[in-house]
């Protein structure tokens, strides 16, 4: 049964998946540091910028969660599903997520962070004939 409003659910789930994306980005940073990359700096700069952008958003979400008294608790995980408990002002809502769906959501957040972190590409100058 749903007890949280759509907005409360959105804040809690965004916080959850954004936190997962930050973990993935940090793991990628470690892989690059240990990897056989010839030139690591551009990748590291991008990932560090993505981490900064994600951390700022998560900080804002945490502030909203504290104001609304929202918590996210991990209940259990198995090969197929992960369960989380969303708590808001004493109301509880258990959410089960299919692990491939979690991966898809985290992937989308990472792409979004990448777009926010990359500088805009200059428009090509058209040749005059």
SS3 call for 90: coil
- DSSP letters, 77-89, are E-SSEEEEEEEET
**Is 124 a domain residue?**
no
The answer to whether 85 and 73 are in contact (CB under 8 A) is yes
**Is 127 a domain residue?**
no
Integer CA distances (angstroms), 43 to 95, 103, 124, in order = 35, 22, 24
**Is 77 a domain residue?**
yes
pLDDT(100) > 60: yes
> 61 phi and psi, to 5 degrees?
-65, -40
pLDDT tens digits, 23-77: 999 999 999 999 888 899 999 999 999 999 999 999 999 999 999 999 999 999 9
**Rounded distance between C-alpha atoms, residue 86 and residue 47, angstroms:** 29
**Is 125 a domain residue?**
no
Q: Compute the chain's Rg from CA coordinates.
A: 18
**Is 35 a domain residue?**
yes
Domain count of the chain? 1
Domain residue limits at 36: 6-117
- Residue 22, token pair as written in the block: 């930050």
**Is 50 a domain residue?**
yes
Of 108, 120, 121, 124, nearest to 13 (Cα)? 108
pLDDT(125) > 60: yes
């Amino acid at each position: 049964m749903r007890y949280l409003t759509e907005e409360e659910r959105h804040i809690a789930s965004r916080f959850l998946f954004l936190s997962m994306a930050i973990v993935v980005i940090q793991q990628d940073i470690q892989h690059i540091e240990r990897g056989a990359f010839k030139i690591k700096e551009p990748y590291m700069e991008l990932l560090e910028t993505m981490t900064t952008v994600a951390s700022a958003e998560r900080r804002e979400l945490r502030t909203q969660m504290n104001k609304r008294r929202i918590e996210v608790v991990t209940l259990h995980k198995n090969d197929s599903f992960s369960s989380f408990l969303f708590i808001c002002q004493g109301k509880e809502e258990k959410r089960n997520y299919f692990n491939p769906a979690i991966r898809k959501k985290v992937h989308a957040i990472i792409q979004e962070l990448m777009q926010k972190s990359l500088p805009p590409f200059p428009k090509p100058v058209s040749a005059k004939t």
